[in-house]
Copies of this chain bind each other. A is one copy, B any other.
Amino acid sequence: MAELIGNAVVGQSGGPTNVINQSLVGVIQEARKHKHIQKLLGTRHGVSGIVKNDFVELNDAPDELLERIALTPSAALGSSRDKPDAEYCKKIFDSFKKNNVRYFFYIGGNDSADTARIVQELGHSQGHEVHVFHIPKTIDNDLRVHDHTPGYGSAAKFVAQALIGVDKDNRSLPGIMIDVIMGRNAGFLTAAAALGRKYPDDGPHLIYLPETKLDPEKLLADVDRVYSKLGRCIIAVSEGIEALDGRAYVEVLAEKSGKAVDRDSHGNIQLSGTGALGDMLADLITTKLRNPGGKKLRVRADTFGYLQRSFAGILSKTDAAEARLVGQKAVEYSADPKNVQGSVVMTRKPGSVYAINVHLEPIQNVARLTKEFPHEWIKDGNDVTQAYIDYAMPLVGELPTVGSFAELK
């Protein structure tokens, strides 16, 4: 079978993660072992670098540097929020043709997968074959088909470790603590707040995911119940939490208090990089609930923000190894000319010991649509089940050791 020989482009897209560079390094190191890839070009800032011809040659990058880059948070090549339309895809293809690019490795979420698919189809119809491989990454963990996605385990580890600390802090100086966690549509990352619980009264005591609409009356009743029992209450809430009418909760709260919500360049309500939701929820609780005796409650809100996806030094070893693996595998798959496109997918082997299988899935099964946090893993609309914890712990790995004087008795 005649091989397709030519140059390759690798790029990174969307919100960065702590292990997206592991996948990049997996691609670079594996590409050196294969003859079908001549020059390996890293595109700066995703698709944007392709159309601007802004590439960095990666073939000769020394391993010492690559191993340091692999440990560095966020996208070393730069990322992009561009969502290419047909015309943009055409420009990408033109650049590929001009640069004799025959392979495109795109590390990103479901939008990136779709871009890659369109470019492959363009190439096929125009007589310049480009084989495209989507390498999954997203802290949201919301890709279909994939058991989980690289980036999730490390972000989940950050959230779990944060909540271990938040619980101890809140025990020490009791009050009501609201932690706002990333996740516009999927609750996987917020659910990770539960992973560090060890003692029966450990927080978070309430967990609200975007998959469940949030009724403010239920929230207040939940908080009141926990606070009455424990004298404190920790709430983990997704930034994308929705009100009963399906609008973003932050929008509903803003309307009530006559404030405006910020929107990003795509017209989406700005959820990250602002403390608005946390502060509004704190206001709601402070206004509606009181200590016995009528004293004002101590209510605080922290929004974890970009630290969740880019904090240097918090890595899940499993996540890092898997992110490297899916990068390598993408290049391996590309060596077979029958593989014209696909997303590298990890599925979980059945059995009690955690292990994965990797396969190449047609991109159309991955692109566009995302998956939700399974409803059967949501408990009482304000917590997660043990089944979720069993699912997530192998992805996150070891959490810090803690102790409490409660063990003395």
Give A contacts to B, CB under 8 Å: 12, 15-16, 18, 42, 56, 61, 65-81, 161-162, 164-166, 168-169, 171-173, 177, 196, 264-265, 272-276, 278-279, 282, 296, 298-307, 309-314, 399-405, 407-408
Contact = CB atoms under 8 A, between A and B. Distances in A.
B312 A302 contact: no
For A75, A304, A405, the residue with the greatest tally of chain B CB atoms inside 10 Å of its CB is: A405
A161 B72 contact: no
A312 B403 contact: no
Contacts of A73: 164-165, 168-169
Question: Which 5 A-B pairs give the minimum distances between C-beta atoms?
Answer: A275-B275, A273-B300, A68-B403, A302-B305, A165-B310
A301 B273 contact: yes
A15 B282 CA distance: 20
A81 B403 contact: no
Contact of A273 (B66, B77, B302, B403): B302
- Copies of this chain held together in the complex: 2
Contact of A173 (B81, B166, B311): B81
Contact of A401 (B16, B68, B78, B407): B68
Given A306-B177, A311-B165, A77 B405 contact: yes
11 contacts: A65-B407, A67-B403, A72-B402, A77-B405, A78-B172, A79-B172, A166-B307, A168-B310, A196-B312, A273-B282, A313-B314
B279 A76 contact: no
A72 B296 CA distance: 30
Given A16-B172, A272-B300, A275-B303, 19 more contacts: A65-B405, A68-B403, A71-B402, A72-B404, A74-B168, A74-B171, A75-B172, A162-B307, A164-B313, A165-B311, A166-B306, A166-B307, A169-B310, A274-B279, A274-B282, A276-B279, A302-B306, A302-B307, A312-B402
A76 B404 contact: yes
A335 B154 CA distance: 48
Contact of A169 (B74, B161, B303): B74
